[in-house]
Structure 1
Amino acid sequence: MLHWQWKKFQELTVDELYGVLALRSQVFVVEQKSIYLDADGYDRGSYHLLGQSTEAPEPSVAAYLRVLPPGLKYAEASLGRVVTASSVRRYGYGKVLLEKGISFIEANYPNTPIRIGAQHYLKRFYEGFGFRQVSDVYDEDGIPHIEMLR
């Protein structure tokens, strides 16, 4: 079971930030073998959704995404760094993350389109949430990506 919580960057505790960065590194750098700078300058201006495991002796971040407000990276609002720990992938938390992220944007930035830079192999997953491909496939850190808009 995961406990969900939205936070601004400044509200993250040191332990929460460490958990977020560890999860993102574990999945995007180690599992996907993509060497890139995760600290891209957008975290401070973003909202962060943490799905913390309540099963461990201490809470650990098992699912995460960030919402970039319109104008921070794109003209549109954006979802990014959507990630789940391998230990919880079979429970549908990826869908929960997207639903919560989209709902947050709709509540805080009504009538604002949502742009994502998605890994190409996840195209059908994102299409299930109303996103459509708006770019050709491009390479980002050794992984094929596409821009999608909702």
Structure 2
Amino acid sequence: MNYTPTVKAFHELTVNELYDLLKLRSEVFVVEQNCVFLDQDDKDQQCHHLLLYSEDQLVGYSRLVPAGLSYQEMSIGRVVSSPSVRGKGLGRVVMELSIEYCQKLFGSGDIRIGAQTYALGFYDSLGFVSDGEVYDEDGIEHIEMVRKN
């Protein structure tokens, strides 16, 4: 499958791109994971957004968070892939691009994430290591992980 990545600051997003990313986040985080939470947390405006398209469909997304907004370190959040393309390695593509663009946008440094515990092996394979205790976030077990630069 051919993917086209786009990375934009919030103010650069088109109305359609913003709609697409909010729709995909809601489809997975709210509907699929049956998780009632306020996705719009007033951080999007200060972040960059990685959008991964296949033809004209948004199939992958992540939020690239500058240091000091969510954690002391820069961060990657709201990582999501469309259910329509699961099992094809898209999650790895999204994360590898997210790591690359964090370094380009924010400079060299560690990256911290809040990972769902079921995905620990996946994040381990990308160089992240657990850092802290398991915690509940919106009814789903998470743990912070750090990728040292």
Query: C-alpha separation between the residues in 2 aligned to 1:60 and 1:20?
Result: 10
Which residue, out of 128, 132, 135, partners 2:132? Answer: 135
SS of 2:86's equivalent in the other structure is helix
Query: C-alpha separation between the residues in 2 aligned to 1:53 and 1:110?
Result: 28
Query: C-alpha separation between the residues in 2 aligned to 1:7 and 1:21?
Result: 15
Q: In the alignment, residue 44 of structure 2 is paired with which amino acid?
A: D
Aligned length: 146
Q: In the alignment, residue 21 of structure 1 is paired with which amino acid?
A: L
**Structure-1 residue corresponding to 2:16:** 15
Alignment of 1:59-98 (within 5 A): 59-98=56-95
**Structure-2 residue corresponding to 1:119:** 116
SS of 2:142's equivalent in the other structure is strand
RMSD: 1.0
SS of 1:102's equivalent in the other structure is helix
**Structure-1 residue corresponding to 2:36:** 35
Tell me whether 107-116 or 13-22 shows the greater mean CA deviation. 107-116
Tell me whether 36-45 or 100-109 shows the greater mean CA deviation. 100-109
**1:60 Cα offset (Å):** 2.4
**1:52 Cα offset (Å):** 1.5
TM-score of the superposition, structure 1-length normalised?
0.94
**1:106 Cα offset (Å):** 2.0
Query: C-alpha separation between the residues in 1 aligned to 2:49 and 2:83?
Result: 20
